Structure formats: C-alpha cells, structure tokens
Structure 1
Amino acid sequence: MKNIRQLHILPMLAMACLGLLFTACNSDKTKTAQTDSTATDSSGAGLSLPAGFSAAVIAKDLGSVRHISITPQGGIYVKHKSAGGNAGILYLTEANGTATVKTSFGTFDGTGIYVKKGYLYASSDEEVFRFKLNANNEVESPDKPEKIVTGLISRNEHEAKAILLDDAGNLYVNIGAYSNSCQVKDREKGSMGQPGCPILDSAGGIWQFKADKLNQTYKDGIRYATGLRNVVGMDWNKTSNQLFVMQHGRDQLHDIFPDMYTEKQSAILPAECMFAINKGDNAGWPYVYYDQEQKKKIVMPEYGGDGKKEGDSKYLEPAAAFPGHLAPNGLLFYTGSQFPEKYKNGAFIAFHGSWNRAPEPQAGYFVVFQPLKNGKADGPMEVFADGFSGSAENTAKGSATHRPCGLAQGPDGSLYVTDDVKGNIYKISYKK
C-alpha cells in the first residue's frame, strides 16, 4: 500500500498551441474544423477548450501513466508504461476535485488496462492478466492475478499490448509489428521489404481471445485482423457493434528513400488512420499506406511503390485519416449525456505528438474530436483540448511539458485524459 498523496491543480500555462495545429494541418492539406464556439482557457489546468468546458488536474506526479479505465463507481485505474521501481497499476479514488492513490500493485510493464464485468484486465509486454474486483470495484487479491494470455511476442519495438473487451466475452489484443516497414534491414536506407513479411505470422495485427479462459496462447486465439503496424488506441463502437482502432503509420519515408520523398512529404505522410475492423480484415501494412493528400492507398516503396502507384483494393479503407506522425494513443467513443448532443457517439482521439517531422515543426500533443456517421468520418476533425505541450515553441521542438495518452469516460459523462510525461490526470467537464 502506498501512502496516499494529496494532489493539487496545476497553475495555468500560457497557451499558443492552437495556431500551430492549424499551421501543421494546413501544410498537410488536411481539413481541420473549429469547434462551434470560440476556444477558451479552462480554469487552472492550462488547456484550451471549447466554451462551456472546463478542465481540472485531479492528480499529478504519478509517473509515466498511459491508459486509464474507470469503474462504474468512479474508481480510477491507470497503467504505467514502465514499472521500473514503481507499481505497474495505480488505483485512485476521487473526491472534491482531487484524486488520491489508494493502492498500487503489480510490477509488470505494459500499457493496457480495462475494467469489465467484475474484473480488471491488464497487460504486460507478453501477457494479459485479470484481477477479481469486489463489490466496490477494488482488486481483491492484487498479488494473485489470473493469467489469461501468455507467450505473446515482444521484440523491443511496438511491444506494448493495448487491450479491449467487447460485450460478448471476447478479449482483443494488439500485437505490434517489431519493424517499421518489414524491411530486410529495419530502418536502413534503401533496404527492401521481406517477401511475404513473416512478421505477420505472430504480430502486426489484432488477436482475439476468450476473456474468461486461463493460460491461452497464440493457438487458442484468432488473428482477428492483420496488416496493422501498431495500434495503441482502440475502442468498441456500440453504435455499429464493431472494433475501431487507431494505427500508428510508418516512419522515415525520406530517410529510407530520399530519391522518392522530400523531407516535407516525409513529415506529413503517411496518414494516421482510424480503421473500423471486422473479423478477417487486412489493413495493408507493410504493403500499402494511406496518403491523405491523394486520398488513396499507395504501395510502400519497400514493395515496389514510387509514391504514386495505387495499392490493391483488397486492403481496408480507413474510416478517417489524420496528418502523419501525430501518434494516436487514445481512442474513445463518447456515450455520455453530459456533453452537448453533437459529441454523442463521436470519437475523441488523444494524439501523443510527433518525433520525426524534422526539419518541419513537430505537431500533435492534443485531443481532437472526430464526428462520425455510419462508421465513417462526418466532416473534419475538431481540436478539442490543446495546450498540453505548454507552448507553441515546445510543440515545434517536440519537447512537450505534458503529452495526452489515455482516455476514459466517467460515470457522470466527464472525459478523463492521462499525461505520460508528468503523470497528470485531467478531468474535462461541461456545464451550460
């Protein structure tokens, strides 16, 4: 048991990031919409939000917290990206605008965490565990988790396992590709793609397992979808009863193929894609990427592409496409009633921010809202919460003070956002 820490609200940060977003997106030739009303600073959290919304930092200095899940009673579970000397999971309770750490447990690394039907599920880089919850939705035996899945591949690139559960007793696990683009020599200039990309045998997709069966391995699961380089943000869309994911697109087009791509093209391509997934779908990695400027799938240069050659129609079309390298780490379909009606069943996406747009400015470090209709983008994305980086200069340099990562919806319809730099938890609320 850790000592309970009293946490306080951050001072307001001076903000200029919103303008940089529009500069970056306009240079990408990607439409970005303003929200219905003028963005305003919220009280105390340093974020810029649409009018009527406010944010509070309900917890701080928690370490590199990544994904977050909230119980029906409002208890907060967060997962560390790296356990190190800290606990892998924290449980917090919230009262009077402050969240305090009640328990900490688990020493395994990883990102995934999810509360469902009386259990807390959490992943390491190679396994998925579950903990039984009591009537108050607190873990009963934190030192005795049940092992649900084991033996997943982890090769020090895209190794974190995002997880999700549906309402039919299925567990979905992202197994990221341990490669940028399945080259013979990873990230080496001019190296071509491996024939048949053997990585796809055990990675580069979403696997489905049973949520209540112990000690499952690859042979017990189903490769639910393939051709996904790496997925960190994922959620179940209850409107369409379907899995949605946010893929991290490939890197370094110019570095690897400088004769085909300029530095500017490499900064904005390929798109970060939202995919609506059905069993058996193939999103195309490493054979194609989506070009949001040409609005088409393009053959990867490692597999004979030239930046213009169109990819096979058999590969999945994105439900929505966003500027490259923004790193979508959180996805949430809003189902609450606190926010205005326009947000109902739309998608919030936490963009963790880029590292590889240089010499162009870095971009991201914000939460956006994507309107949807019939499972597809219904208009351009809207910047919802900006200001995590601290300043436009911080954003351009890629040295953000805070970086949004995980998203969760509280029982009252509030939106929670984690920060994996300083370890903040933000609570965003709406009042007419």
Structure 2
Amino acid sequence: MNKKTILACCLSVIAVGGLLSFKLIKNEVENAGLKLPGNFKASIIADNLGSARHLVATPQGDIFVHLGGLKNGKGIVVLHDNGDKADVKTTFGTFSGTGISIKNGYLYASSDQAVYRYKLNNNNEVADPEHPETVVSNLVTKRAHRPKAIALDNDGNLYVNIGAYSNICSELDPQKKGCPILDSAGGIWRFKADKLNQTQGNGIRYATGLRNVVGLDWNQQNNQLFVMQHGRDALHDLFPKLYTVHQSAILPAECMYALKEGDNAGWPYMYYDDVKQKKMQGPEYGGDGVKEADAKYADPVAAYPGHLAPDGLLFYTGNQFPEKYKNGAFIAFHGSWNRAPEPQAGYFVVFQPFKNGKPDGKWEIFADGFAGTPEQEASGRAEHRPCGLAQAQDGSLYVSDDNKGTIYKISYKK
C-alpha cells in the first residue's frame, strides 16, 4: 500500500473511529472508491481524459477512448494498459462523438452526424490517423439525443442509433395522429460496414419506436442485436391528473430489447411499466395509466428503474470472471437527473445474467460508488458518471466516466 492510501485510511479512522470502519474504508480506497462483489478489485488507470464516452480494447493492450468533446483538438485518445496504469499513447481524430468499435481490421468511430473508419495495422494501431474513410454521413442530428452509438455484426453490417429529437413526439404533431419523425429518427438504421460514402437514405430502418439508444452490443451467443432504450420523461408534468409525482419519478422503465429486422418498440405510443410489468398506452395517444398498449409492439426482454440512463452495454465473453458472468450483460447507467422528489439514482454498473442468449434472472448492481458520497448521488451532483464498457484481453472490465474522464479497470482474483 502506498503512503497516500495509508494516509487516507488513517484519516478515515480518525473521522469515524473503529476497526470495522477502518477495514471498510481501506477496501473502498483500494478499489478506487467502488463497491464490488467479493474478490473483485478496481483501480483507476487513467484520469482527466475529457468526456470519455465509449471505448474499445485491442489484444495488444491498447484502449481507444472516444471523447464527447474535443480535447486539444482531438476526439480519440489511445491508451496503453501497463497493468496498474494506462499511459496516453497518442491522440487523433478531429471529431468528437460516442460510438467506437473494432471489426475486421478497422476501427469505426462516430460523430453526431457520421460514422468513419480507420484501417488498422497488424498491431491493431491506426495506420493513417489523419485520413479516416467516411462510411455514412448526413445522419439526422437535431435538438436532442444526438449521439450516434454503433454496433457491428458478423455479416458485414453496421448498426447506428438515430435518437428521436423529442421527448414524446406529440409537440411535433399537434393533432396526435402519429409521429412524423419516425421515418428518419427514433430507431436503429443498418448500413454496409465496408461501403463508403453512404447517406442515411442508403440505409435500412432496421428497428423503430426507440426513443433513444446509447448502449448497444451484438450478442454472439444468439447472433442478435441488443439495445438499451432511454424511456420518456414528464408523465406527471404533462398529465398531472393521471400520474402522481412519485409515479413520474420511477416510470417508465429503461428497457433492454433484443431486436430483429422490422421490430417496433412502440415509442411514442406506449411505455413499459416495470411495476405492473405491462406495456402501457401513452397518455398523449389515448392512455390513462390503466389502458394497456397494442400487443403488436415488441416486448422488452428486461426492464430497469426509470430515468437511470443506460449508456453502455457489453456482453462479457472473457474467462477471468467467475462462470456466472460468462455471456451475461454488463450495463453502465449514467444516472438520473429527473427523479425528484425521489432521490436521484443510478451512477452504477449492473450485471444482467443470461442463459442461452436471453436474460435469465434478476439483475444486480455490480459496481457502485461512482457518484461519490450518498449526498452527491441523491442530489444528482455525481462525481463520476459511468458511460462506456470494454473488455480487456485478459478478461478485465474497463469502465469510462464522461464527467471527469476517468477510466476504471475491474479485475477478479481468487
């Protein structure tokens, strides 16, 4: 233990007293302030990177981190993991964004309007960082839900989230006869991963009725796209006679969907109530908090408390963690801002067990404590906010924080 850790532990003992408190605080300091299951350890391997959004790791120990805003004129940071820390290897890219992924010898990265790719050399390093190829451009980007998260399948396809630039669409259709933006937003679009200079019109609207998706990943077990939807807001504010402030704070659920081509998840016409475990008709479209939605809309495969903002999704395929984690899903929840009068919540990484390519059993909090003190969490003034997830070559888990630009590494030792 270094002197800084010892000092922090001793000061904590003075503040709260007692051997038990000393042990608990000592453990949290050693785990970068995180609370983890037994035998898991966490460390901060990089800090102050900027708005660290999604990230991806290579077998050679490099980590590509996409920044939500340019830092020193660059949008992608390359780290090299040396075990207990990661050094900045280089930076490149003149665009900020969220999505980043590696497939078939290319690094793919998205801005809020386009998806680019870089050829990788035999060491999985970007060969020509100054000249990315444009895969797709002119993606719809308006007021809200601008980030373009991405995923790639095993058949040469690229999937891009195009978030709805609205909370519930009714303000864009005063007659409430439909949602005019669904033709170009509020869904997942599919493109050819190896075809350059496509526009949105060249893509296929793979799935619709999704308000906003930031976390998505391709499930190798059943060869299917899984996504995490951000649910709607303001049930009570817009319909105070139908919903209490408490209901508005906890509803609707944030949902996981397993998508196939042509699926419709139902936004804005419905929402999912995880208390009732039912699809409910939206109040803007004739719902009253009691009427159920049309059965034609896709059912979520898992649901989580409202407004927690799931921003990262990763299927764990490594061998370092215990067997229960193999092929299960980790979800990074960015945390809420609108659960008042309930305390704000989230700011954690959740594990969702899977079996045979489907959710199986109750989700559990895997890594907590990113927000800082209980007061920081309850008020929404979180110190760190989880966003992206990546798997290291040795099976460790990387977690990015887009508030202070921190990268955590979580490992397991028996």
TM value normalised by structure 2: 0.92
8 Å CA contact 2:50–2:71 kept in 1: the answer is no
Residue 138 (structure 2) pairs with residue 151 (structure 1): yes
Aligned partner of 1:239: which letter? Q
Q: 1:77 aligns with which of 64, 67, 71?
A: 64
Task: Say if 1:42 and 1:314 are closer, same or farther in 2 by CA, change over 3 A.
Answer: farther
Q: 2:387 aligns with which of 405, 412, 421?
A: 405
State the distance in 1 between where 2:70 and 2:261 align.
33
State the distance in 1 between where 2:69 and 2:174 align.
33
Alignment of 1:103-122 (within 5 A): 103-122=90-109
Aligned partner of 2:368: which letter? D
- Match of residue 278 from structure 2: 296
Alignment of 1:59-208 (within 5 A): 59-83=46-70, 85-184=72-171, 194-208=176-190
Aligned partner of 1:324: which letter? G
State the distance in 2 between where 1:181 and 1:117 align.
38
Equivalent residue of 1:83, what SS?
A: strand
1:248-277 superposed Cα distances (whole Å, 9 cap, x missing partner)? 000111111111111100000000000000
State the distance in 2 between where 1:196 and 1:12 align.
58
8 Å CA contact 1:270–1:324 kept in 2: the answer is yes
Q: What is the deviation of 1:192?
A: 5.7
State the distance in 1 between where 2:175 and 2:252 align.
17
- Highest relative contact order (Cα 8 Å, sep 6+), 1 or 2? 1
State the distance in 2 between where 1:316 and 1:212 align.
30
Task: Say if 1:363 and 1:216 are closer, same or farther in 2 by CA, change over 3 A.
Answer: same
State the distance in 2 between where 1:41 and 1:113 align.
31
Alignment of 1:303-318 (within 5 A): 303-318=285-300
State the distance in 1 between where 2:120 and 2:369 align.
36
Equivalent residue of 2:170, what SS?
A: coil
Equivalent residue of 2:249, what SS?
A: helix
Equivalent residue of 1:93, what SS?
A: strand
Residue 309 (structure 2) pairs with residue 327 (structure 1): yes
State the distance in 2 between where 1:315 and 1:371 align.
24
8 Å CA contact 1:47–1:385 kept in 2: the answer is yes
Equivalent residue of 2:74, what SS?
A: coil
Alignment of 1:346-385 (within 5 A): 346-385=328-367
8 Å CA contact 1:192–1:302 kept in 2: the answer is no
Q: What is the deviation of 1:219?
A: 2.6
Residue 241 (structure 2) pairs with residue 237 (structure 1): no
Q: What is the deviation of 1:44?
A: 4.1
- Match of residue 395 from structure 1: 377
- Match of residue 216 from structure 1: 198
1:275-326 superposed Cα distances (whole Å, 9 cap, x missing partner)? 0001111100001100001111001111111011100111000010000000
1:135-189 superposed Cα distances (whole Å, 9 cap, x missing partner)? 111111111000000110000210110011111111000000000000225xxxx
TM value normalised by structure 1: 0.88
State the distance in 1 between where 2:57 and 2:168 align.
35
1:73-101 superposed Cα distances (whole Å, 9 cap, x missing partner)? 22100011122654111111111411111
Between stretches 413-422 and 85-94, larger displacement belongs to 85-94
Between stretches 140-149 and 214-223, larger displacement belongs to 214-223
Aligned partner of 1:150: which letter? S
Between stretches 218-227 and 168-177, larger displacement belongs to 218-227
Q: What is the deviation of 1:378?
A: 1.7
8 Å CA contact 2:74–2:96 kept in 1: the answer is no
State the distance in 2 between where 1:250 and 1:418 align.
25
Aligned partner of 2:36: which letter? L
Equivalent residue of 2:30, what SS?
A: coil
- Match of residue 18 from structure 1: none
Q: What is the deviation of 1:218?
A: 2.1
State the distance in 1 between where 2:83 and 2:139 align.
41
Gaps of at least 5 residues in structure 1 are 1-7, 16-39, 186-190
- Match of residue 275 from structure 1: 257
Q: 1:53 aligns with which of 15, 18, 40?
A: 40
Aligned length: 396
- Match of residue 26 from structure 1: none
State the distance in 1 between where 2:116 and 2:361 align.
39
1:370-421 superposed Cα distances (whole Å, 9 cap, x missing partner)? 1123444322111100000011111100001101110011111100000111
State the distance in 2 between where 1:194 and 1:122 align.
37
Gaps of at least 5 residues in structure 2 are 13-26
8 Å CA contact 1:325–1:353 kept in 2: the answer is yes
Q: 1:286 aligns with which of 249, 255, 268?
A: 268
Q: What is the deviation of 1:41?
A: 3.5
State the distance in 2 between where 1:162 and 1:241 align.
19
- Match of residue 5 from structure 1: none
State the distance in 2 between where 1:339 and 1:96 align.
17
Equivalent residue of 2:375, what SS?
A: helix
Richer in helix (by share): 2
Q: Percent identity?
A: 66
State the distance in 2 between where 1:375 and 1:278 align.
14
Q: CA RMSD in A?
A: 2.0
